A and B are shown apart, each in its own frame.
Chain A
Amino acid sequence: MMILKILFRNAFHNKLRSGLTILGIAVAILAFGLLRTVISSWYAGVEAASTSRLVTRNAISIIFTLPISYNEKIRQIEGVKMVSYGNWFGGVYINEKNFFPNFCVEPRTYLEIYPEFVLSPAEKKTFLADRKGFVAGRKLAAKYGWKIGDAVTLKGTIYPGNWDFVLRGIYKGRDDTTDETQFYFHWDYLNETIKKASSQMAGQVGFYMIAITRPDLAADVALAVDKTFKNSLAETLTETEKAFNQGFIAMSGAIVTAIQMVSFVVIIIIMAVVANTMAMTTRERIGDYAIMKTLGFGGRDITVLIFGESLVITLAGCLTGMILTFPAAAAFGHALETFFPIFIVSTETLYLDVLAAILIGCLAAIIPTRQAIRIGIADGLRRIG
């Protein structure tokens, strides 16, 4: 008990040094937490993916389309519950700075397949009835101040011209991981418009979303879909929604790796800072430890004192950093919500914070403890005065 008392009082004896060290650890934990959250948000689409949804795209590349006629054939495959389809529209709102994902989809089936997009029955009815209608996620509508009935124009980048829409619904995410920054409108509106300009471009979809009856059928259904269109002009590649989303992340794998490395470098730097603090502290207290050894306390007591002090400081910094991570992540997520629509500090990140703090605390204490234990009592006492 007395050892614990000494340990805690030692930790905060030099208030300025302890305070600055705790602040340094807090900033490092904050940076570590934010970087880990960036990585988590990168994978948010993968995490949010359903195990009972498949994505079918052109086997050559996502940028090539598939004929709308595949819809009926896919529906007939055993294990398929429902099929929807859509295209990446790539429209720009006012200018390029206002980026958000926008798709044209077959709205009835799409909303069925994605029950996590929660729309009121009235809004759903008016959206389905209005070919120029669109729905937007809650965060997207809030960002631009859109209200139901507002007219919004997107400038087409893939499909040229100005495209006028009317906001018919604002969806909310059922789960924390549901993206609330997306923009959906009718595939028919796009198809009929481009048919007038070029009939060759009409009747094409970018992807099919397939709801399957049971998750364990995913492999069989995917195989059956691709087999159906084997040796056709547009062969397909069908995979789970998770695998499809992971494919996108793999394209930016180097960035994710770089962020991961930076997050660990932050930890290594702060480890050096804490080790330096503990080395200074132990050097100053070598006399105190010598007195305790003189009185009969052993190496185990000295180890508990030094490791304990190091852990108290790092865990205090960790706790401060963890508390700061939440408002910082909220501000960061708000500022970049179109790039990182799901920016939530995960439980795993908090566990990693604590683990990193314990690791820093222990590693920083090893050498000072060794020095304090090894020094002879007489040598230690000579340093007093």
Chain B
Amino acid sequence: MAEQKQNIVEIRHLYKAYHRGSLVVPVLYDITFDIVAGEFLALMGPSGSGKTTLLNLLAGIDKADEGSIRVGDMDITALSETELAHWRANHVGFIFQFYNLIPVLKAIENVELPLHLTSLSKKERRDHAEMALRMVGLDHRMDHYPKELSGGEQQRVAIARAIVTDPTILVADEPTGDLDRVSAEEILAMMERLNAEMGKTIIMVTHDPRAAQRAKILRHLDKGYLTDDDSQNPL
């Protein structure tokens, strides 16, 4: 009998619009879908389709106008700003297109940064951060500042920072968008390993088909609508 996997994310009737003065610009319409624990999902779509907005909503860095998002056992649409910040610190790991490392912190300090919101001791923080950097193969560059690292290396530091708190989900917004082909392959391989070996649930926004083909599930957004059913990655 096949094992029934549990949903880690449940999105129901999500609606989001941006307000520019009196102008209301709808971005997402009635989005409903689930993500199973341990999934590697790619959200694709043309520019302005609403994929980054959807990612922001399910990562808790933006608020929906209507609908609900449940991550694990938590309805994050019901949380206040402060509760959301606390929830993000514990449950979400972020990987951005432009790495978004703090330029005045060394690689190890950047990885350690989210751990300052936990109750770990100084030594435990350092041990966790070193381990995360070892996992991405950058333990030899832990004392380097972001500007002293290549784009690929910076993204690996960002991945280490994303996984150091052992989050429930990893969200990645165009993680290879600013990288050359070789570095992009390395990053995607690393994300694949995180999903396959560590069972991390990854939700990735991309418009790069090469990146999308690494995901197990592919969803398309167009003009704010999900345009396909839940399906295995045809790429």
Q: Which of B101-109, B148-156, B208-216 is the interface stretch?
A: B101-109
Q: Which of B88-96, B131-139, B218-226 is the interface stretch?
A: B88-96
CA distance A67 to B89 in the complex (A): 89
Residues of A within 8 A of B86 (CB): 296
Interface residues of A in 269-283 (CB under 8 A from B): none
Residues of A within 8 A of B104 (CB): 6, 9-10, 13
Nearest Cβ on chain A to B79's Cβ, whole angstroms: 12
Q: Is the CB of B62 within 8 A of A377?
A: yes
Q: Is the CB of A378 within 8 A of B61?
A: yes
Q: Is the CB of B114 within 8 A of A287?
A: no
Q: Is the CB of A291 within 8 A of B105?
A: no
On chain A, the number of residues with a Cβ less than 8 Å from chain B's Cβ atoms is: 24
Residues of A within 8 A of B82 (CB): 298
CA distance A381 to B174 in the complex (A): 13
Nearest Cβ on chain A to B75's Cβ, whole angstroms: 19
Q: A193 within 8 Å of B by Cβ?
A: no
Nearest Cβ on chain A to B227's Cβ, whole angstroms: 23
Interface residues of A in 257-289 (CB under 8 A from B): 287-288
A2 partner, pick from B59, B85, B89, B116, beta carbons under 8 A: B116
Interface residues of B in 162-220 (CB under 8 A from A): 178
CA distance A294 to B82 in the complex (A): 12
Residues of B within 8 A of A13 (CB): 103-104
Q: Is the CB of A298 within 8 A of B85?
A: yes
Nearest Cβ on chain A to B144's Cβ, whole angstroms: 15
Q: A376 within 8 Å of B by Cβ?
A: yes
Give the A-B pair count, Cβ closer than 8 A: 66
B105 partner, pick from A9, A294, A297, beta carbons under 8 A: A9
B109 partner, pick from A5, A291, A384, beta carbons under 8 A: A5
CA distance A291 to B98 in the complex (A): 11
CA distance A2 to B106 in the complex (A): 12
CA distance A298 to B83 in the complex (A): 10
Q: Is the CB of B105 within 8 A of A287?
A: no
Decide yes or no: A6 and B102 within 8 Å by CB, A294-B94, A296-B114 being known contacts.
yes
Residues of A within 8 A of B53 (CB): 378
Q: B112 within 8 Å of A by Cβ?
A: yes
Q: B56 within 8 Å of A by Cβ?
A: yes
Residues of B within 8 A of A158 (CB): none
CB-nearest residue of chain A relative to B98? A385
CA distance A292 to B103 in the complex (A): 12
Q: B113 within 8 Å of A by Cβ?
A: yes
Q: Is the CB of A381 within 8 A of B88?
A: no
Q: Is the CB of B88 within 8 A of A291?
A: no
Q: Kindly supply a per-residue 1/0 record for chain A positions 1-19, scoring 1 wherever the CB is within 8 Å of any chain B CB and 0 otherwise.
A: 1110110011001000000
Q: B97 within 8 Å of A by Cβ?
A: yes
Q: A197 within 8 Å of B by Cβ?
A: no
Q: Is the CB of A2 within 8 A of B109?
A: yes
B56 partner, pick from A1, A3, A378, beta carbons under 8 A: A378
CA distance A2 to B118 in the complex (A): 13
Nearest Cβ on chain B to A109's Cβ, whole angstroms: 70
Q: B100 within 8 Å of A by Cβ?
A: yes
Residues of B within 8 A of A294 (CB): 59, 61, 88, 94, 100
- Chain B CB within 10 A, most for which of A6, A292, A295: A295
Q: A293 within 8 Å of B by Cβ?
A: yes
Residues of A within 8 A of B114 (CB): 295-296
Residues of B within 8 A of A377 (CB): 56, 61-62
Q: Is the CB of B103 within 8 A of A297?
A: no
Decide yes or no: A288 and B61 within 8 Å by CB, A2-B109, A295-B117 being known contacts.
no
Residues of A within 8 A of B59 (CB): 294
Residues of A within 8 A of B100 (CB): 287, 291, 294, 381, 384
Residues of B within 8 A of A10 (CB): 104
Nearest Cβ on chain B to A150's Cβ, whole angstroms: 66
B98 partner, pick from A1, A293, A297, A384, beta carbons under 8 A: A384
CA distance A9 to B109 in the complex (A): 13
CB-nearest residue of chain B relative to A3? B116
CA distance A178 to B86 in the complex (A): 64
Residues of A within 8 A of B102 (CB): 6, 288, 291-292
- Chain B CB within 10 A, most for which of A9, A293, A294, A376: A294
CA distance A287 to B85 in the complex (A): 17
Interface residues of A in 1-42 (CB under 8 A from B): 1-3, 5-6, 9-10, 13
Residues of A within 8 A of B85 (CB): 293, 296-298
Residues of B within 8 A of A293 (CB): 61, 85
Nearest Cβ on chain B to A193's Cβ, whole angstroms: 78
Residues of A within 8 A of B113 (CB): 2, 292, 295
A287-B100, A295-B94 known; 16 new pairs, CB 8 Å cut-off, are A3-B116, A5-B109, A6-B102, A6-B104, A13-B103, A288-B102, A288-B103, A292-B102, A292-B113, A293-B85, A294-B94, A377-B56, A378-B53, A384-B100, A385-B97, A385-B178
Interface pairs A-B: 6 shortest CB-CB: A296-B89, A9-B104, A377-B61, A385-B98, A291-B100, A295-B114
Query: Can you pick out 18 interface pairs between chain A and chain B where the beta carbons lie within 8 Å of each other?
Result: A2-B112, A6-B102, A10-B104, A13-B104, A288-B102, A292-B113, A293-B61, A294-B94, A295-B117, A296-B88, A296-B117, A297-B117, A378-B53, A381-B61, A381-B96, A384-B100, A385-B97, A385-B178
